[in-house]
Amino acid sequence: MPAPCEFAWLAGEWTSTEHAVSFSNTAYGVSVDGRPFLIHDADSGMWILVLGDPDAFGILIGLGLRAGIARFSGDVTIDGVPVRLRETLRRVQELAIEIRTEKQIDGNWQLMDQCVLERVKPPN
């Protein structure tokens, strides 16, 4: 994997109380369950987080991992309604990631969803 290896630690099987997730390293960044998830733009050094499911789609932009935290924000569509969204990925321990999703309402960020992913099996 070229320069965008700061998220290489995501590779592998993860699970939460909601569902299982499989991250893979790719030439462009990281995919989740075979779909693009984090794409690195080498020219700007920025990262693009791709949302693409039946209920929510769009892209969020971020600077990448800083002190174990990556924050992405942008305008997306959820259930057909435009929303300003912010997603934060934070390593809470070596084998766990907290994901917080917030939407902006009247200039303030309000928590929409929060989950913790735990690694199914430790990396070799």
- Report helix, strand or coil for 22: strand
Q: Burial-class residue 117 by CB neighbours within 10 Å (0-12, 13-18, 19+).
A: buried
Q: Where are the domains of the chain?
A: 8-116
Do 63 and 50 meet the contact criterion of CB atoms below 8 Å apart? no
- Structure tokens, 83: 């929303």
* DSSP per-residue codes, 29-97: EEEETTEEEEEEETTTTEEEEEEESSSEEEEEEEEEEETTEEEEEEEEEETTEEEEEEEEEEEEETTEE
Please, which residues have CB within 8 angstroms of residue 110's CB and are 6 or more apart in sequence?
102, 103, 104
Confidence of residue 18 (pLDDT cuts 50, 70, 90): low
pLDDT of residue 4: 53
Give the chain's length. Answer: 124
Q: Is residue 3 pLDDT above 70, yes or no?
A: no
Instruction: Give the pLDDT score at 124.
Output: 59
Global pTM reads 0.83
pLDDT band at 75 (very low <50, low <70, confident <90, very high): very high
What pLDDT is recorded for position 104?
96
